[in-house]
Structures are given as C-alpha cells and as structure tokens.
C-alpha cells in the first residue's frame, strides 16, 4: 500500500479517537429529532463511519495479500 494512504489512515484514527474520547465532552448538546442528544448521537453512531473507513482501508490492505492462502 502507498505510504500516503497509511499516513492518512493514521491521521483519520487520531482525529476519530480525539472526537470520540475528548471533543465529545466539550461540544454543545442540543436534542436531535426530539429525543437524541448530540453527545449521545456521537458516542453511539460515530463508530459507523469509522467502521466504513476501517473496512475500506483493510479491504485495500487485504487486496495486497492475495498470495496468503
């Protein structure tokens, strides 16, 4: 895999975990859809886009592993 992709993946994870562990506590907390506070929304559902990025990255990585049976 290209070095740039690896660096971008590391930076994405740093930003993701910074938001999920630290920034979430400092954000305002409006209620979305009448019942879902923004902070809870982030804690519950931010892992979904993260999972998509992890899936895309490792999909590309395992495409380089065709020789491994």
Partner 1 sequence: MNPAILISLGILAYAVFIVWHGFRSFKSTSESSEKFFTADRGLNPFVLLCTTSISVFSALAFYGAPAGIYKDGIGFYSNTGGMIAGLMFVALGYRLWLLGKEYGFTTPVDYLRSRYYSEGYGLLVSIVLVLFIVPYVAMQLIAIGDAVVVTTDGLVPYVIAVAVGTIVVSLHIVGGGMGSVAWMDTFHMCLGFGTLITLIVYLTMHYFPNGGFAEAVDIMRQNGTFSILSTPGPNGAFDWRGIVGNALTGAIATVVWPHIFMRTFVASSKENFRQMSWAMPISYVLVYTPIVLIGAIIAPAILGPGFSQPDNIVAVLSTQYAPPFIAFISLLCLFAFGVSTADSLLLSASAMASRDIYLHHVYELKGKTSNPKQVVKFGRVVLLILMVITLVIVAIRPASITDYAYKLSSPFFAQILPATMAGLFWKKASKEGAIAGTVGGLIVATVFTFFVTPPLGFSALIWALVANTILLVVISLFTKVPEDVISKYHTRIDSIIYSGAELSSLTDATIAAVNNK
Q: Footprint of partner 1 on residues 9-68 (CB under 8 A)?
A: 13, 16-17, 20-22, 24-26, 29, 31, 33-37, 39-40, 43-48, 50-52, 54-55, 57-59, 62, 64-68
Residue 60 · residue 26 · CB < 8 Å: no
Binding residues for partner 1, per CB under 8 A?
A: 1, 13, 16-17, 20-22, 24-26, 29, 31, 33-37, 39-40, 43-48, 50-52, 54-55, 57-59, 62, 64-69
């Amino acid at each position: 895999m290209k070095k740039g992709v690896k660096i971008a993946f590391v930076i994405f994870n740093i930003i993701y975990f910074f938001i999920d562990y630290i920034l979430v506590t400092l954000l305002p907390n409006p209620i979305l859809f009448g019942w879902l506070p923004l902070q809870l929304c982030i804690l519950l559902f931010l892992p979904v886009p993260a999972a998509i990025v992890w899936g895309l990255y490792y999909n590309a990585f395992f495409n380089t592993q065709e020789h491994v049976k």
